[in-house]
Structure 1
Amino acid sequence: MNMRLIAGIFFVIACWIAGPLQAADSASSSFIVLNYHDILEEEERVPPFDRMAVNKEHLNDHFAWLKSNGYRVISIQDLLDAMQGKKPLPNKAVILTFDDGYQSFYTRAMPLLKKYKYPATLAVVGSWLEQHNHAGTNKPLMTPAQIREVAASGLVEIASHSFNAHHGIVANPQGNEQSAITTRLYSSEYEEYEKDEEYRKRIFQELEKSSEQLLQMLGKRPRVMVWPYGEYNAIALEAAKNAGMPLTMGLNDGANTLADAAVMKRMIMTDDPTAERFATIVTKLRTGRELRVAHVDMDYIYDEDEEQTEKNLSAVVERIKASGANTVYLQAFSDPDGDGNADKLYFPNRHLPMRRDLFNYVSLRLRKGADVKVYAWMPMMAYKADVPLKWYVKEWRDGEPQLSRHVYTRLSPFNPEARQFVGEIYEDLAKSCDFNGILFHDDGILSDFEDVSPLAMEFTHKVWGLPAEFDAIHSSSELRLRWAQYKTELMGQFTDYLTNKVRFYRPYIKTARNFYSLPLLKPYSEEWYAQSLPTFLKHYDYVAVEAMPFMEEAENPKQWLAELVEKTAQTPGALDKMVFELQAVNWKTQQDIPMPVFTEQFQLLKKLGAKHIGYYPDNVFHDQPKLAELKKYFPVEIKD
């Protein structure tokens, strides 16, 4: 089955799930899903602690808090009834879920569910039931008889947690393991990844086997698929629907509407929250956390000597962990000459040379070792590729269109073959690598003399209704601005296309895009850049503005930064999305920014109301910014 057909099926699944929302009461269509695992007695809470285990007394406190604060615990059938327009969801609706089928659900959680008359969903792993315990922890599991008993109580919906996919499989040449649901198995024997059809067949068979097992055990197929580790993609969703499970659950924080029923967000209970912390989790939904971003060059980590690469990586992981950063923008392309263009890539792909299969490995090490979110930092258009010259951006020079002389050698977003070329690179990134987001590079720029390639000018005239001749457009300030605004939106739509390529395989990723400071400070300069804050806010989860006064040769850096924050704040909601990226190096002088200056700028941004702050570059070899100072003020206090 080709990818376009799969995407179409995914869209149909989403529409099938979301369709009944129109008949429901939209004012009562919001709900949250809470996730628990093992439930312990107080005396069992001994080291090493299971971060996902919850004290039975605390669980009782959680249930009591929900009851006393007007929350209504609903069943899966209540959710389906609301989707079909039979009755609206109650206000403050909550779904309770318990993963893995531990014996403690039967002995400790179930009595509390009966006490409060709360329905719940229990997700079980088929192969574990056959082993009678969790192979990784040796924790006892419920028996099939106990599962049938709780299912017959009328309070418990039995969901699939896969048959045998709640584990990792080899995901890269370094031998790391990642989710069996979303990972392409890497064969060290053949030095190759699982092919598309092999992967698809494995996932379909896995979910069908789980559904069939529960049919044999309970007399009916499960309606809900709970994704192991919260990992899923469009192919997995299609397989779940095919196996009779149109409702699925991930592990992202936040609230749901009925339109989210195809993949519900769930808030996992970790570190045994007290009633007070539980109240904060439920009311705040763990959203709106501030970002502290370190921008890391993979070219600093890479070395021809693999042993040295490993040493470099270990140093970076330890440094990022100690710094207090919670997010890393990690270079996924190779740019050894520093011109901002991708010469090679750090992941398998069909179009550019691969310097080394490294991005997935480094991303995993950072996520696990430094507990950060990793964004793949990727060019939008700046690829040095063996493609026809007509694919590239052209500028008007000497009375005719010529290949642009800009430092960024950009493929044209007007050229359909070039767009497909870049789209396939992003698709290959998502197939072989696991990460949390994308940072679109600052190569997304078109000047007031670009793009004048034949396809671009034809599009400009036929679609946008502007003159077909460059001189006619450029002779009018009103037409130049309109032209720029159209180009700004076109590039936003192009990155939406790239994002969708990634989200087919990594649906949960966030997006950010680098933003030059001048279009923020002087909006009329959109004419020279084809960038604007309103357009960026519409297309991306975050906007990463270059808050770099020395690069901009600002006479008064503090005043310049203050104006940057002030201009951002003038647009409602912009401070919630803006990442202010400080410079750690003065590229004009090739000197590191002194830490007193760096610290002063950081504190100024924070004082003025900036929520998300980062810096570029992070240099482990120069200890820049200085770690001893950075870790004093960079961390964000995490409040559930």
Structure 2
Amino acid sequence: MRCFILSLICFIPFLSAHAADARFLVLNYHDIVETDADIKQDTDVSVKRFEQHLRWLQQNHYSVISIQQVIDAAAGTKALPKKTVLLTFDDGYLSFYQQVFPLLKKYQYPATVSVVGSWLEDRGKPSDVKQALLTVEQLKLMQQSGLVEIASHSYDLHRGILANPQGNTQAAVVTRSYLPEANSYENDADYLARITKAMQHSADFLVKQVGVKPRVMVWPYGEYNSFAIDAAKVSGMPITMGLVDGDNTLADLPALRRLMVVDNPDQKQFAHLVTTMRQHIPLRIAHLDLDYLYDTDYKQTELNLDHAIQRIKNMRINTVFLQAYADPDGDGNADALYFPNRHLPVKQDLFNRAAWQLKQVARVKVYAWLPILAYQNHLPDAWYVQEWRDGKAQKSSHIYTRLSPFNQDAKQFITDIYQDLAKYCNFDGVLFHDDGILSDYEDVSPTALAYTHQVWGLPAVFNELHATPAMRMAWAERKTEFLSQFTDELAKEVKRYRPYIKTARNIYAGPILKPYSEEWYAQSLKAFLAHYDYVAIEAMPFMEEAEQPQAWLTQLVQAVKRTPGSLNKTLFELQAVDWRNKQKIAMPVFNGQVELLKKLGVKHLGFYPDNVFENQPKLQDLQQHFSLSDSSE
């Protein structure tokens, strides 16, 4: 067994090109109940429907394979078939023995079942788990059949632990436990020790009880991070599984994606799930400011949050861009943060609470909305972006007080903030704010100019950098890429703690409508499409003072369409307020813009801001024009 583990760990990074390209699906089930009438929750599937799924796979020439076949393919000893599926079943319910195992034998299909050690040991399952569980004897019998791989679902991590001062409990694998008596959180050393011990115990327990050392860790609730993956590998489980939609290559064995089968799909619905992997779903997004919800009275903050969450739920949307920083004066700079961190004041430890409630009650994905560079603090002047003004380099006069991405101390300051966000908060994505800009007069700090010359081979003198349109654009393009690479570094740090997050970044309309204006902003649609999961276009005609807003929006969509496939990765953000006169956008105008964008083929739509207290935009209009239809949810 030790030889197997070492060989598996070693060969994953050295897959042949052919092996690395092989793709396969992992399907995830939970309880397979006897009849449709027995379904109690959305993860239940009736045995009749489950057999329909198996028949569809068989009829459509899918190969249902075992963990061992995946291992062999990764080792290069045998290639995977072209259409390949792994079947997995979580939680170790008795129905796996009673309903699933007979069908596995009938079709000669292998499967993986993951069990929770503490539930198996003393039958002391949590009160919210109503289903009967497998016994040790049943597990041994199925394992001996050669059709069933027994995986760990942890020993005692399939539970929530205290995650914030407000009392939310979140997945024990990825959560830094909140310690009320100390008003602080579990530190890095204690967290790592807890997870490392838990992984080893989960493996040792199955050896003792079932007589097999698990090769696979199936993460409770699908939640994991790089630290947990490392601990599982050390404990002999180099293959782990989450619950992120999508298919896999053999290079993904450390954290496989799985399609969770929900809502008891019939054969047609199952076929749609397998063939589309839920990638078709459009985004409907509301921007929510925590500054609107925060109150010095804690109870009032909670009431405000409850009101906002109910409104988001009633919108029937699927995504919220949630402000993670405090900006009470509205200048776009972060004066404080809404999560524990090393560098800025904490306005209130509120982001994790709000994000979790939105996820659990409104059932939306939550993106943490943070600046890239605009952080207010008393830091050395050398850390900030400098512009050429009045014949010399000096601190930029732009409303965004930005830290220079060329200054290593400033970059580390920002990186620490993103690490702390990911460490203490549970969320699904990051929205990089529109403050990540550098004009054609920026950045001329000594560090930036030295980098410009030494790395890019451009002049280190502003007058030469600004001398011709060609030189200005060459400078701008490099700054565009440099800023994008910095956000990639920030995303990489976040993914150490939250590996499944998506990224989005705001872009002004100007560089899309007039690509030559990249030199004024260091923003480019082409560059952004290459770096982010989504590009969030500020489709705001009143902010841009467009004389004919409908025509302006049409031109914007047409400009985006010139890049093939771009509508799949771009989202258009409308404004709900005209900031020039601080007036609400009239709902007939807002609705007309939504309908125009949909008519033009725009897939993903959002708006900013959502004012929960003034019902702006009006909920009834959002439900009619903006919400997702039942068929898209």
Please give the TM-score of this superposition, normalised by the length of structure 1: 0.96
> Is the 1:164–1:206 contact (alpha carbons within 8 Å) kept by the matching residues of 2?
yes
1:120 aligns with 2:111: yes
> Is the 2:87–2:110 contact (alpha carbons within 8 Å) kept by the matching residues of 1?
yes
What's 1:358 paired with?
350
What's 1:406 paired with?
398
Q: How much has 1:411 moved relative to structure 2? A: 0.1
Runs ≥4 residues deviating over 6 A: 12-15
Aligned equivalents of 2:17 and 2:596: distance in 1?
50
1:19 aligns with 2:13: yes
What's 1:269 paired with?
261
Aligned equivalents of 1:358 and 1:387: distance in 2?
25
1:541 aligns with 2:500: no
SS of residue paired to 1:410 = coil
Q: 1:230 to 1:343 in 2, by over 3 A?
A: same
Q: Give unmatched runs, 5+ long, in structure 2.
A: 1-5
Which amino acid counterpart does residue 31 of structure 2 have in structure 1? D
Q: 1:17 to 1:429 in 2, by over 3 A?
A: farther
Aligned equivalents of 2:251 and 2:26: distance in 1?
14
What's 2:3 paired with?
none
Q: 1:335 to 1:200 in 2, by over 3 A?
A: same
Q: 2:247 aligns with which of 237, 255, 267?
A: 255
Query: Deviation string for 1:160-196 (max 9, x for gaps)?
Result: 0000000100000001000000000001111110010
Aligned equivalents of 2:205 and 2:9: distance in 1?
28
Q: How much has 1:15 moved relative to structure 2? A: 8.3
Q: How much has 1:252 moved relative to structure 2? A: 0.7
Aligned equivalents of 2:10 and 2:162: distance in 1?
35
1:55 aligns with 2:46: yes
SS of residue paired to 1:96 = strand
Which amino acid counterpart does residue 405 of structure 2 have in structure 1? P
SS of residue paired to 2:255 = coil
What's 2:35 paired with?
42
> Is the 1:332–1:376 contact (alpha carbons within 8 Å) kept by the matching residues of 2?
yes
Query: Deviation string for 1:444-503 (max 9, x for gaps)?
Result: 000000000000001111111111110111112111100000000000011011111111
Q: 2:60 aligns with which of 56, 61, 69?
A: 69
Which amino acid counterpart does residue 134 of structure 1 have in structure 2? K
1:107 aligns with 2:66: no
SS of residue paired to 2:137 = helix
SS of residue paired to 2:483 = helix
1:449 aligns with 2:441: yes
Query: Deviation string for 1:100-121 (max 9, x for gaps)?
Result: 1111111110000000000000
Aligned equivalents of 1:488 and 1:137: distance in 2?
51
What's 2:332 paired with?
340
Aligned equivalents of 1:316 and 1:177: distance in 2?
21
SS of residue paired to 1:504 = helix
SS of residue paired to 1:451 = coil
Q: 1:139 aligns with which of 122, 131, 140?
A: 131
Aligned equivalents of 2:98 and 2:525: distance in 1?
55
Q: 2:486 aligns with which of 479, 494, 502?
A: 494
Aligned equivalents of 1:587 and 1:170: distance in 2?
41
1:203 aligns with 2:195: yes
Query: Deviation string for 1:42-64 (max 9, x for gaps)?
Result: 17516xx2211111111111111
What's 2:23 paired with?
30
> Is the 2:8–2:75 contact (alpha carbons within 8 Å) kept by the matching residues of 1?
no
What's 1:416 paired with?
408
Q: 1:125 to 1:15 in 2, by over 3 A?
A: closer
1:557 aligns with 2:549: yes
What's 1:212 paired with?
204
Q: 1:382 aligns with which of 354, 374, 381?
A: 374
Aligned equivalents of 1:474 and 1:78: distance in 2?
60
> Is the 2:118–2:124 contact (alpha carbons within 8 Å) kept by the matching residues of 1?
no
What's 1:309 paired with?
301
1:368 aligns with 2:363: no
Q: How much has 1:14 moved relative to structure 2? A: 11
SS of residue paired to 1:360 = helix
Which amino acid counterpart does residue 252 of structure 2 have in structure 1? D
Aligned equivalents of 2:486 and 2:280: distance in 1?
27
Q: 1:23 to 1:561 in 2, by over 3 A?
A: closer
> Is the 1:17–1:261 contact (alpha carbons within 8 Å) kept by the matching residues of 2?
no
> Is the 2:110–2:147 contact (alpha carbons within 8 Å) kept by the matching residues of 1?
yes
Q: How much has 1:217 moved relative to structure 2? A: 2.5
Which amino acid counterpart does residue 380 of structure 2 have in structure 1? P
Q: 1:214 to 1:323 in 2, by over 3 A?
A: same
Which amino acid counterpart does residue 347 of structure 2 have in structure 1? R
Q: How much has 1:276 moved relative to structure 2? A: 1.5
Which amino acid counterpart does residue 555 of structure 1 have in structure 2? E
Which amino acid counterpart does residue 419 of structure 1 have in structure 2? K
SS of residue paired to 2:254 = coil
Aligned-residue sequence identity (percent) comes to: 55
Query: Deviation string for 1:538-575 (max 9, x for gaps)?
Result: 11100001100011011111110001100101012211
Query: Deviation string for 1:259-284 (max 9, x for gaps)?
Result: 11111110111111111111111111
> Is the 1:516–1:545 contact (alpha carbons within 8 Å) kept by the matching residues of 2?
yes
What's 1:130 paired with?
121
What's 1:6 paired with?
none
Aligned equivalents of 1:26 and 1:184: distance in 2?
35
> Is the 2:326–2:347 contact (alpha carbons within 8 Å) kept by the matching residues of 1?
yes
Which amino acid counterpart does residue 411 of structure 2 have in structure 1? R
Q: CA RMSD in A?
A: 1.5
Query: Deviation string for 1:408-462 (max 9, x for gaps)?
Result: 0000000000000000000000000000000000100000000000000011111
SS of residue paired to 1:262 = helix
Aligned equivalents of 1:13 and 1:121: distance in 2?
21
Aligned equivalents of 2:238 and 2:11: distance in 1?
7
Which amino acid counterpart does residue 50 of structure 1 have in structure 2? Q
1:165 aligns with 2:161: no
> Is the 2:512–2:525 contact (alpha carbons within 8 Å) kept by the matching residues of 1?
yes
Query: Deviation string for 1:53-104 (max 9, x for gaps)?
Result: 1111111111111111111100001101111111110121000001111111
Q: 2:621 aligns with which of 610, 624, 629?
A: 629
Q: How much has 1:220 moved relative to structure 2? A: 3.2
Aligned equivalents of 2:142 and 2:38: distance in 1?
26
Aligned equivalents of 1:181 and 1:254: distance in 2?
22
Aligned equivalents of 2:471 and 2:12: distance in 1?
42
Aligned equivalents of 2:7 and 2:371: distance in 1?
32
Q: 1:529 to 1:544 in 2, by over 3 A?
A: same
Q: How much has 1:634 moved relative to structure 2? A: 1.5
What's 2:76 paired with?
85
Q: How much has 1:257 moved relative to structure 2? A: 1.1
SS of residue paired to 1:261 = helix
Aligned equivalents of 1:439 and 1:310: distance in 2?
24
Q: 1:313 to 1:152 in 2, by over 3 A?
A: same
Q: Give unmatched runs, 5+ long, in structure 1.
A: 1-11
Q: How many residues align?
A: 626
Aligned equivalents of 2:158 and 2:610: distance in 1?
36
SS of residue paired to 1:424 = helix
Superposition map of 1:504-519 within 5 A:
504-519=496-511
Q: 1:317 to 1:146 in 2, by over 3 A?
A: same
Q: How much has 1:590 moved relative to structure 2? A: 1.0
Aligned equivalents of 2:36 and 2:344: distance in 1?
57
Q: How much has 1:639 moved relative to structure 2? A: 4.7
Aligned equivalents of 1:588 and 1:13: distance in 2?
64
Q: 1:466 to 1:20 in 2, by over 3 A?
A: closer
Aligned equivalents of 2:269 and 2:286: distance in 1?
29
> Is the 1:439–1:514 contact (alpha carbons within 8 Å) kept by the matching residues of 2?
yes
Aligned equivalents of 1:558 and 1:429: distance in 2?
39
